[in-house]
Chains A and B, each alone.
Chain A
Amino acid sequence: MRKTSVFNQIVVHTILLISSACMIVPFVWMVSTSLKYPDEIFVFPPRWIPRNPTLENYTELFKSMNFGRPFLNTIIVAGCITFFSILISSMAGYAFAKFRFKGRNRLFFMVLATLMVPGQMTLIPVFLLMRYLGLLNTYTGLIAPGIASSFNIFFMRQFIYTIPNDLIEAARIDGAKEGYIFFKIILPLSKPAITTIAIFTFTGSWNSFLWPLIIAQDERMYTLPVAVSVLAGQYVENIAIQMAGSCVVITPILVFFLFAQRHFIKGISLTGLKG
């Protein structure tokens, strides 16, 4: 290990501690406020650990605000998007990587080209289409546009491309059909790529806001982010209940992240440096 002065160590760690405190304090404040009775919220200096903690804000959130419904909606929507997106993207990725057919490269280029177009370009036409098909306020309307991801197709194609052709050829000689090859050879070998995509697709759809905001006008179809934004408008003065709402949206992903942290960070470096 190289030598370093004690002074350097202190400076470096102080900077890092201050930065990470800036990152963590909003979360701590959120959790602690969500556990407080109104009289303790405006006490200064803030009491980071409530003296008299209560879960009342949460019970009110789920009882009178019906937060269970958006919670369920978000799980259904994010879960379905993740499942179908992985299935469809890895199928297409396999075909683009290993099948040979006329026009393949041109088709793949077209998929890549759509990566550059911002979501707002497609927002209005897709909204009109959904309205025309009567799919506003439906799960299909919330889920279907999220499944089509050119990034996921691209990512799966790049990964499957590195799987040796010999494996596939050998299976073909043994008489395996394409379906068998895909489910029994390609998918198991693509596990690292699938994990990465699963994590990012699930987190992305859990956090997605603009599309659900537009498509779900009926309270029963709200997803969590939409429900929280409405809550902030309705309970303007009730900080504690707003914090409880935010907590419900943030915590599941946070816990998920703490467990799958290694994959998250590996995924970032993997997908990030592709560009």
Chain B
Amino acid sequence: MKTNWFWILVFIGPALALLLIFLIIPIFASLFLCLTDFNVRAMVNWSNAKFVGFRNFIELFQDELFWKAVLNTFYCLAVAMPVTVCLALMNSVLLNREQTKLKTFFKTAFFLPFITNTVAIAVVWAWILNPHYGVLNWLLGIFGIEGPNWLGDPKWAMPSIIMLVVWKAVGYNTILFLAGLQNIPDFLYEAAELDGASSWQKFWYITLPLLKPTTVFVTTMMIIGYLQLFEEPYMLTQGGPLNATLSIVLYLYRQGFKFFNLGYASSIAVVLFLMIASLTILRLKLGGQD
């Protein structure tokens, strides 16, 4: 049945208006802003902003700090993604065994970090990682290991951030893998057992290939999420020491909302979007090959 336009407007109108104002128009405004030199002076009067073409991008690609931020962010992605996948996969396989006890307890425990506020728990982690009073170094000390100055040492700062990132993400991905595992029919494993397959063979030749849709989804979400790294370095290190933990979004925030170089910050946003979009497409293409 055709619906009359009055009702269509009533039902879709509010949502569409909000999407236009807060998403669609701003996206295009961003594409325009990144071509201007919108800065503090323009904050006072918008007419002070001038159109500068691609100058922001040219400057950006010569900006050492920006490259540092890109490098740091990809370092986080490159380490955190495989580690999260491995840990989540391991946990979910162990939880999926019939004989495993206390499943509800483990699931709840794994899930807690995911729903926890990043800013608040980062404050806790900052103290756990404290070189003198931290629980982590005390624990390492028991085993006779002298823990590093986690957040103060440029070498260890990013690994510390990654630790928090992974800690937060493992539970969520465990639940996703668990849902994927439960979709694998039992008879495949039974057939493999009759053929004398070992547990390892079953995992390698049945579980992993059949989990592929979940793996593709999980890694795609990680690419999108990890490239937007912000709260962890903002709270733990403010990007330091020596910019070792400066991430792309943290740099965007600094340029945009500390120095009010909003045109320049917009160009960072556009580059970030292009990175996320191209990596996501690449991942989905690779995932869909067979």
Whether the pair B115, A257 counts as a contact (CB closer than 8 A) is yes
Q: Which residue of A lies closest to B180 (CB)?
A: A273
- Does A4 sit at the interface, judged by CB under 8 A? yes
Q: How far is the CB of B169 from chain A (nearest CB, A)?
A: 12
Q: Can you list, as one digit per residue, whether each of B93-123 has a CB less than 8 Å from chain A (1) or not (0)?
A: 0110111111001111111110111111101
Inter-chain CA distance A235–B121, complex, in Å, is 16
Picked from A19, A145, A182, the residue with its CB within 8 Å of the CB of B22 is: A145
A22 partner residues in chain B, CB cutoff 8 A? 167
Whether the pair A214, B257 counts as a contact (CB closer than 8 A) is yes
Comparing A51-59, A60-68, A189-197, A263-271, the segment that makes contact with chain B is A263-271
Whether the pair B100, A16 counts as a contact (CB closer than 8 A) is yes
Inter-chain CA distance A204–B119, complex, in Å, is 13
Whether the pair A148, B94 counts as a contact (CB closer than 8 A) is no
With known contacts A44-B138, A100-B2, A207-B118, A232–B235 Cβ distance under 8 A: yes
- Does A209 sit at the interface, judged by CB under 8 A? yes
Whether the pair B115, A264 counts as a contact (CB closer than 8 A) is yes
Picked from B90, B91, B108, B269, the residue with its CB within 8 Å of the CB of A123 is: B269
Whether the pair A225, B1 counts as a contact (CB closer than 8 A) is no
Whether the pair A242, B123 counts as a contact (CB closer than 8 A) is yes
- Does A203 sit at the interface, judged by CB under 8 A? yes
Q: Which residue of A lies closest to B17 (CB)?
A: A148
Picked from B113, B119, B253, the residue with its CB within 8 Å of the CB of A225 is: B119
Residues 80-120 of A contacting B (Cβ, < 8 Å): 88-89, 91-92, 94-96, 99-101, 107, 110-111, 114, 116-120
Picked from B15, B124, B234, the residue with its CB within 8 Å of the CB of A153 is: B15
Whether the pair A125, B117 counts as a contact (CB closer than 8 A) is no
- Does A185 sit at the interface, judged by CB under 8 A? no
Q: Can you list, as one digit per residue, whether each of A223-242 has a CB less than 8 Å from chain B (1) or not (0)?
A: 01100110110000001001
Q: Which residue of B lies closest to A252 (CB)?
A: B117
Inter-chain CA distance A224–B128, complex, in Å, is 21
Residues 170-192 of B contacting A (Cβ, < 8 Å): 170-172, 175-176, 178-180
Whether the pair B98, A1 counts as a contact (CB closer than 8 A) is yes
Whether the pair B3, A99 counts as a contact (CB closer than 8 A) is yes
Picked from A95, A124, A131, A261, the residue with its CB within 8 Å of the CB of B33 is: A124
Whether the pair A118, B276 counts as a contact (CB closer than 8 A) is yes
B235 partner residues in chain A, CB cutoff 8 A? 229, 232
Whether the pair A107, B277 counts as a contact (CB closer than 8 A) is no
Inter-chain CA distance A148–B15, complex, in Å, is 7
Inter-chain CA distance A136–B75, complex, in Å, is 35
Inter-chain CA distance A101–B132, complex, in Å, is 66
A15 partner residues in chain B, CB cutoff 8 A? 90, 94
With known contacts A12-B97, A13-B100, A125-B29, A148–B217 Cβ distance under 8 A: no
Q: How large is the interface on A (under 10, 10 to 19, 20 to 34, 35 or more residues)?
A: 35 or more
Interface centre among B19, B33, B94, B116 (most CB of A within 10 A): B116
Number of contacting residues on B, CB 8 A? 97
Interface centre among B5, B11, B30 (most CB of A within 10 A): B11
Whether the pair A121, B270 counts as a contact (CB closer than 8 A) is yes
Contact residues of A: prevailing secondary structure: helix
Inter-chain CA distance A128–B171, complex, in Å, is 37
Inter-chain CA distance A45–B27, complex, in Å, is 53
Whether the pair B269, A268 counts as a contact (CB closer than 8 A) is no
- Does B243 sit at the interface, judged by CB under 8 A? no
With known contacts A88-B15, A91-B12, A229-B235, A19–B87 Cβ distance under 8 A: yes
Picked from A25, A99, A118, the residue with its CB within 8 Å of the CB of B11 is: A99
Q: How far is the CB of A139 from chain B (nearest CB, A)?
A: 16
With known contacts A24-B109, A25-B135, A118-B276, A92–B11 Cβ distance under 8 A: yes
Picked from A27, A45, A92, A207, the residue with its CB within 8 Å of the CB of B12 is: A92
Residues 157-213 of B contacting A (Cβ, < 8 Å): 167, 170-172, 175-176, 178-180, 213
Top 10 A-B residue pairs of the complex, sorted by shortest distance between their CB atoms: A92-B15, A20-B109, A148-B18, A125-B29, A125-B26, A95-B11, A122-B26, A246-B120, A269-B179, A249-B120
Using CB atoms and an 8 Å cutoff, list the residues of chain A in contact with chain B: 1-2, 4, 9, 12-13, 15-16, 19-20, 22-27, 29-30, 33, 41-42, 44-46, 88-89, 91-92, 94-96, 99-101, 107, 110-111, 114, 116-129, 131, 144-145, 147-148, 150, 153, 169, 172, 178, 182, 203, 206-207, 209-210, 214, 224-225, 228-229, 231-232, 239, 242-243, 245-247, 249-250, 253-254, 257-258, 261, 264-265, 268-269, 272-273, 275
Offer 22 A-B interface pairs, CB within 8 angstroms, sorted by A.
Answer: A1-B98, A1-B99, A13-B101, A20-B105, A20-B109, A23-B170, A27-B124, A30-B124, A45-B138, A88-B18, A89-B15, A101-B2, A116-B277, A120-B269, A124-B256, A144-B18, A150-B23, A228-B120, A250-B116, A250-B121, A272-B176, A273-B179
